[in-house]
Structure 1
Amino acid sequence: MIDYQAVKAVVSVIRLGSFDRAARELKVTQSAVSQRVKQLEQRLGVALIVRGSPCSATTVGAQLLRHFERVELLERQLASSMPGFIGPGSLPERMTIRIAANPEWLGSWILDAVSEFVRSAPFLIDLVLNETIPTLERLRAGEVVAAVTSGEERLEDHDSRSLGSLRLVAVATPGYSSRHFPQGASPEAMAKAPGLAMGSTDPFPKRWVKVALGDDVEFPVHRLPSRASIFDAALAGIGWGIVPAHHAAAHLRSGTLTELIKGTGFDLPVQWQVHRVAVHQLEGLTATIVRLAQQSLELDGIS
C-alpha cells in the first residue's frame, strides 16, 4: 500500500518549494516532513526531491506528483457524490490543475475560458507552456491532465472535443518579398529565401511549401525560440514565416505584411483533450473552452 501521508509530504515540498512551507501547510513540524520524505525515498530507493532554494522534483518525484494529482481529482469527484465518505478537511480547499496550451499563438480565448472557470471552481490553474515540447506529448506523458492540442490525433483514455481549425499562412514584409521574390515565390526563388522556423523540427514551413508549390523544396532557415518570435521576426523583415491568420490579419490589411502566395494557407485542426480522470471535474472548463474557441475561430474567419 502507498503511504499517502509520506506522499503528501513529498507533494507539498515540491509544490511549495521548501520543507518549512510544507510543514506549515500540513500542520506538522519540519522534522516530521523531512522524516516522511526520507522514509519514502529509502523505501523506493530513489531521490524524490532535489534539495535547494526552491526545492524541486526529480523525475520520479514528478511522476509521484502526477499520480497524487489524479488521486486528488478522484477523491474530489467521490466527495461530491458521497459527501460523508471523505472527512472534512481531507481535501485541500483548492487543488492545482495542470493544463498545456499556448494562448500567445491560439488567442486570448484560452485565458478567458480559464477566467470564467476559476470564478466558481475550487481549482488553481498551472498553465504549462514550453513550445519545444508539443502539448500533445505533454498530455501523452501524463505531465498535464488537459491540453489544447493541434493535429488530428486523439489519445486513448482522453475525452476529445474539436475546437475548429487554425488557419496558417505564409507572410513576409513587402520589402522582403520584393528582394527575394521579385517574380513571385517560385521554387527557384524559395530555395534561396531564408525562412523562419521554431527550432530544428518545426514542420510548418515545409508543409506550406508542399501545399503552395506542390513539391518539396529545401530552403535556408533562421531558427527562433518561439512561435511569437517568428511573427516578430517576419515583421522585422528577417525572413518569411508561418503565422496564424488572425495574428496577421491587421498587418495584411494595412500592408505591413503580405502573403507569399495568396490563398495558399492550410488549416490545422485544434482539439481540447482531457484525461478521463479529470473529465467530470473539468466539465465547466471544457464547455467554456469549446464555446469560446469556436466563437473566436469563427469570428477570425479561420474555421
Structure 2
Amino acid sequence: MLNPQWLRTFATLAELGNFTRCAERLDLTQAAVSQHVQRLEERLGTLLIRRPRQLELTPAGLALLDYCAEVGTADQRLQQRLSSADVEQGEVSLITPGSIGLTLHRHLLDIQQAHPGLSIRHRFAPDTEVLQAVLENRFELGLVTLKPVDARLTVTRFAEEPLELVAPTGEVVNTWADLERLGFIDHPDGQAMAGRLLSRRFPGHPGAHALPCRGFTNQISLILEPVARGLGFSVLPRYARLAFSKPDAIQVVEGTPRVVDTLWLLHRAEWPLTARAETVLRRLQPHFALDN
C-alpha cells in the first residue's frame, strides 16, 4: 500500500505545480517533498516531467492523481460512517417493505430537509431481503412484518398496519356477490392478503382465488390506480392506501374481524445505533403510533 503522506504530497504538488509552495503548504522541506515523489516514482515509474516554470504529469502521474482523489473520498466516507455520535451529519440507511415505505419516504424527506447534513438511503424490499441486509450490515435499520428470532438482532415493535379491503368510491360492497361483480386487482402479496382478510369477513366462501382477476401490478404505488378507475377492488396494507395520491376515488370497506400486522424494527444487537439513526427514529415514531 502506498504511504498516505507520499500521496498527500503528490496531490498537493500536482495542485500547486511548484515544489517550494508545496513544501510551505505541507510544512515540509523541499528535500522531503522531492524524497516523497522519488519514493513514488521508484514504485510506479516516472510521474512528473520537470520543466523550468511548470510541472507536467505523465500518464502514470495522472492515474496516481485519480487514485489520490479516490483515497480521499474513501477516507471521507470512512470518517462519516465512524462518526456515530454526530446527529447532524452522515448516512442513515434503512430497508423496509414497500407499503410502509411509501409513507415513510415523505417523512424521511422532511427529516432530511430539517437536517441537510444527513444522507438518507432507503430501499424497498421483502422481509427476507430486509433481514439479510441488516444481518450483513448493508443497512443499519430494517422493518419486517414477521418477527425474526436471531440473537444478533434487536427487535422491537414499530407500528401496526391493518389489511384493508379497498374499492372504488360509490360502490356498495356488502356480500361475496359484490366482490365477484367487481373483480380483484392482484399484486405479488395480493392472494395471501386477500385470503387472510376475506376468509374472516366472508366465511364459507371459496376464497380469493375463486374471484375474477381484473388486473395485476407489482408496483405497490400503482395497485390502487385501477381501483380508482372502477376496474375492481384490492386488499393491501393501510400505509399503501394512505400514500395513494387520489384518496377521493377510493373507499375502505370497513368490517370485522380486523386483520392487523405488526411491523418490527430491526438493527444489530452487538453495537449501538448511531446517534443520527436514533434521531431519525425519534422523528418518525410519532407518525406510526402503535395505537393508530
Fold conserved between structures, TM > 0.5 = yes
Identity, in percent, stands at 9
Aligned to 2:32: none
Q: Which residue of 2 aligns with 1:204?
A: 193
- Counterpart code for 1:297: F
**Unaligned residue ranges in structure 1 (runs of 5+):** 6-18, 29-68, 81-93
Q: Cα–Cα, structure 1 residues 202 and 289, in superposed 2: closer, same or farther, change >3 Å?
A: farther
Deviation at 1:224, TM superposition (A): 0.8
User: Which residue among 111, 122, 129 is the counterpart of 1:127?
Assistant: 122
Task: Please give the alpha-carbon distance, in whole angstroms, between the structure 1 residues aligned to 2:78 and 2:187.
Answer: 33
1:280–1:297 Cα change, 3 Å:
closer
Shift of 1:228: 1.3
Shift of 1:250: 11
- Contact 1:172–1:257 (CA under 8 A) maintained in structure 2: yes
Partner of residue 107, structure 2: 109
- Please name the residue that 2:261 is paired with: 268
Instruction: Please show how residues 81-96 of structure 1 align to structure 2 within 5 Å.
Output: 96=91
Q: Distance in 2 between matches of 1:290 and 1:22?
A: 40
Distance 1:115 1:278 in 2: 28
> Any conservation in 2 of the 1:114–1:285 contact (CA below 8 Å)?
no
Aligned to 1:16: none
Aligned CA RMSD, in angstroms, stands at 4.4
Measure the CA separation in 2 of the matches of 1:267 and 1:288: 25
Contact 1:166 1:302 in 2 (8 A): no
Partner Cα distance (1:285, 1:22) in 2: 32
CA distance in 2, matches of 1:169, 1:160: 26
What corresponds to 2:26 in structure 1?
A: none
With the length of structure 2 as denominator, give the TM-score of the two structures. Answer: 0.55
Q: Work out which of the residue numbers 235, 256, 262 in structure 1 matches 2:228.
A: 235
Distance, in Å, in 2 between the alignment partners of 1:269 and 1:255 is: 27
What CA distance in whole angstroms lies between the structure 2 residues aligned with 1:136 and 1:161?
14
Match of 1:286 in 2: 278
Matches of 1:296 and 1:241 in 2, distance apart?
A: 25
**Alignment TM-score, normalising by the size of structure 1:** 0.54
2:250 to 246, 257, 273: 257
Tell me which residue corresponds to 1:13.
none
Alignment partners' CA distance in 2, 1:212 and 1:302:
22
Asked if the contact 2:141/2:266 (under 8 Å) is kept, the reply is yes
The alpha carbon displacement at 1:100 in A equals 0.9
Is 2:153–2:269's contact at 8 Å kept on the other side of the alignment? yes
Give secondary structure in 1 for the equivalent of 2:249: coil
Matched, 1:225 2:218: yes
